[in-house]
Chains A and B, each alone.
Chain A
Amino acid sequence: MTKAKLTARNVDVFYGDKKAIDDVSIDIGNGVVTAFIGPSGCGKSTFLRTLNRMNDTIAGARVTGQILLDGEDIYDKEMDPVALRARVGMVFQKPNPFPKSIYENIAYGPRIHGLAQGKADMDIIIEKALTRAGLWNEVKDRLTDAGTALSGGQQQRLCIARAIAVSPEVILMDEPCSALDPIATARIEELIEELKDRYAIVIVTHSMQQAARVSQRTAFFHLGKMVEYGETSQIFTNPREVRTKDYITGRYG
């Protein structure tokens, strides 16, 4: 792998006294899709949320160790979590558009960061974000409609467009397809494939088939530890660890 976009070293996460993540070190590359797999409660979503400091908003959550974004420590005092989250976007399990129009959903991020000079500029940003998220042709004639009136799959692509609109470098996806039907899931997976050249993408998924389809690298988490990390093809065909093998062959999880 070329130079890592995100580098985590000896990361522990605590919820109160409970250790949710135990000594995880990982390099996440640019231009590839990295999948986190593992049984429920293994800590993969918790670890994902350390990468854009969303855990900061949970009372009692504490992160130790070091996480670097392009060599910058994201838990440094100098690092502003607000600016960080614009650089490291996130898409959630359940589509969560704002109860506003499609246009306003996407305009919100660029507006608070002052990325657009005037309405014409904003229109361009919106069209670009929706086009990249593969939603433009479906919604271009009804940008003023409520974002919540779209179908589940469209809503999730709207959320991806919303994340893209603030020009992030990394996109974190926390089980983005678990609330979607197979057709909508396929659309999102195609989209991930299209987006991976521009962004470092990290996806948490319960579906091993999905991890195998969309990712180039896979990390297997179990009981708060990262058990194994490597090329997706190697993890699925020739895992080094017994626990990884047991999981991907359906022995548990």
Chain B
Amino acid sequence: MSNTWQSPAMIKRIARRHAAERRFRLVGLGAIVLSLLFLAVLLFIMLKNGLGGLDWEFLSGSDATNADAAGVWGAVKGSFLTMLVTLLLSFPMGVLAAIYLEEFAPRNKWIDWVEVSINNLAAVPSIIFGLLGLAVFINTFNLPRSSPLVGGLTLALMTMPIIVISGRNAIKAVPPSIRNAALAVGASEVQTVFHHVLPLALPGILTGTIIGMARALGETAPLLMIGMRAFVATPASGITDPSSVLPMQIFLWSDEIDRGFVQNTSAAIIVLLMFLLAMNGLAIYLRNKFEVRW
């Protein structure tokens, strides 16, 4: 028997397996390097073009017709206010919907239909939400055009299904034994959910929420439809004032003929990326802070 394992054919076979192992590692590493390379190139070009324009005047100024005078503050503030409206609406709505569907909804055809609809809603192209926002919020309810209020409402519609889906997954991941434990000492179902299930699901819900918010932050198409592409020279002082948002500002500047705006465009992209980085950092921080160790 031992001859089998020492035969030249077997030794060759084992060597071939080791080689295949090494090849796979190299290919996997290559895939990572390649994808990071794109990010590196993007960052390099943006920093090269935009870093020179990234000064206090740029950060604190608003849009202007003159590239030197134009700043990004109006758009940053607009993005911030829009995100605030989106968060305040989509987070409670999304979490409550997720809790109801996961913990309380009866299992029937009607609920199946609701589930399919929410999953479909998450896949609807964002421009459609823009049209919906235009038709409902502006044309029907006469809310102010170009405002962070309407922008936030529209993006909330888009973000809510993402929060519902990630929220349901986080709630589903809480072990049933915890629910049993709470019910068995006489907690009601609502107490069980709010005292035990929700706190344990919170890190997952927050991560999903921030990913949804980050997507909404970079969204441009639906905001085009509700008129957030206007030239706005003064930062919005409230959620009903006309305003721009960061991705829209980037889009508008990239369209300018004046060469001076190339630097502005890149600088605004750096600001947007910083914004996103901060949000993702917050997601990781919150996840670690609320994560329960078993």
Contacts and interface: CB of A to CB of B under 8 A. Distances in A.
Interface of A: 52, 54, 57, 59-60, 82-86, 89-90, 92, 94, 96-99, 108-109, 112-113, 146, 148, 159, 162-163, 165-166
Nearest to B108: A59
Contact of B178 (A85, A96, A166): A96
B184 A99 contact: no
Nearest to A83: B186
Contacts of B184: 52, 54, 85, 89-90, 92, 163
Interface string B185-209: 1111101000110001000000000
The 8 closest A-B pairs by CB, nearest first: A86-B186, A109-B185, A96-B177, A90-B184, A99-B292, A85-B186, A96-B181, A82-B188
Contacts of A146: 293
A163 B183 contact: no
Contact of A112 (B181, B187, B189, B294): B187
B180 A92 contact: yes
B106 interface: yes
B167 to A, nearest CB: 19
18 contacts: A59-B107, A85-B185, A90-B180, A90-B184, A92-B177, A92-B180, A96-B177, A96-B181, A99-B293, A108-B182, A108-B185, A108-B195, A109-B185, A112-B191, A148-B294, A162-B185, A163-B184, A163-B185
B185 A166 contact: yes
A247 B179 CA distance: 34
Contacts of A82: 186-188
Contact of A92 (B107, B181, B294): B181
Contacts of B187: 82, 108-109, 112
Given A59-B106, A148-B294, A99 B186 contact: no
Contact of A85 (B106, B177, B183, B196): B183
Given A54-B183, A89-B185, A96-B175, 8 more contacts: A84-B186, A85-B184, A85-B186, A96-B181, A98-B181, A109-B186, A113-B186, A148-B294
